[in-house]
Amino acid sequence: MIARVTVRLKQDVMDPQGKAVLAALHSLGHQSVTNVRVGRHFDIDLLPGTNAEQARQALAAMADQLLANPVIEDFEITVEEGASR
The confidence score (pLDDT) of residue 50 equals 87
* Furthest-apart CA atoms within the chain: distance in Å: 49
pLDDT digits (tens, 9 = 90+) for 6-20: 999 999 999 999 999
Alpha-carbon distance 61 to 67, whole Å?
Answer: 9
pLDDT digits (tens, 9 = 90+) for 37-83: 999 999 999 998 889 999 999 999 999 999 999 999 999 999 987 66
Q: What stretches of the chain adopt beta strand conformation (E)?
A: 2-9, 39-45, 73-80
2-80: which CATH topology?
Mth169; Chain: A , (3.30.1280)
**What pTM was computed for the model?**
0.84
Grade residue 84 by pLDDT with cuts at 50, 70 and 90: low
pLDDT digits (tens, 9 = 90+) for 22-43: 999 999 999 999 999 999 999 9
Query: How far apart, in Å, are the Cα atoms of 70 and each of 6, 24, 33, 37, 46?
Result: 13, 29, 28, 17, 23
Q: Where are the domains of the chain?
A: 2-80
Q: Kind of pairing, strands 39-45 and 73-80?
A: unpaired
